[in-house]
Structure 1
Amino acid sequence: MNILIRALQGPLGTHWQVSLGKHHVSFRSEDEARQFVATLEARVQAPHVLPGTQRLAS
């Protein structure tokens, strides 16, 4: 996943934008943007069980 963090200037000052492909999420500070990215990366890298592969408890 290509994730980009950038500062943008707007009428109310600087805000930070995280881009995930065509999706963009804005934050008030760079710290908030970086925390979001860290959480997202941790969730993406976490182990996942694919549907239909879970075993039923005996």
Structure 2
Amino acid sequence: MNIQVSASAKKPGCPWQVQLDQHVVSFRSEAEARAFVNTLQARLQAPHPLKRSG
């Protein structure tokens, strides 16, 4: 997954964007955008055990 943080003038109330491949999420501050990215990356890198049935 390609993740990018950037400033944008498209939404004055939410001038920061995180782009996740083709999906864009807007934030009010750079700190909020970077915190979102940090949480997302931690969740993506976390172990995901599969429950085996039977």
**TM bucket normalised to smaller:** 0.7 to 0.9
Spell out, residue by residue over 1:4-51, the C-alpha distance to the aligned partner (whole angstroms, 9 max, x if none): 10000146366100000011100000000000000000000000013x
Alpha-carbon RMSD across the aligned residues, in angstroms, is 2.2
- Normalised by the length of structure 2, the TM-score is 0.83
Structure 1 partner of 2:47: 47
- Please identify the structure whose Cα radius of gyration is greater: 1
Label 1:55 to 1:39 Cα distance change in 2 as closer, same or farther (>3 A).
Answer: same
CA distance in 1, matches of 2:41, 2:13: 28
Q: Gaps (5+ residues) in structure 2?
A: none
CA distance in 1, matches of 2:20, 2:35: 15
Q: Gaps (5+ residues) in structure 1?
A: none
Structure 1 partner of 2:15: 15
- Normalised by the length of structure 1, the TM-score is 0.78
How many residues matched? 54
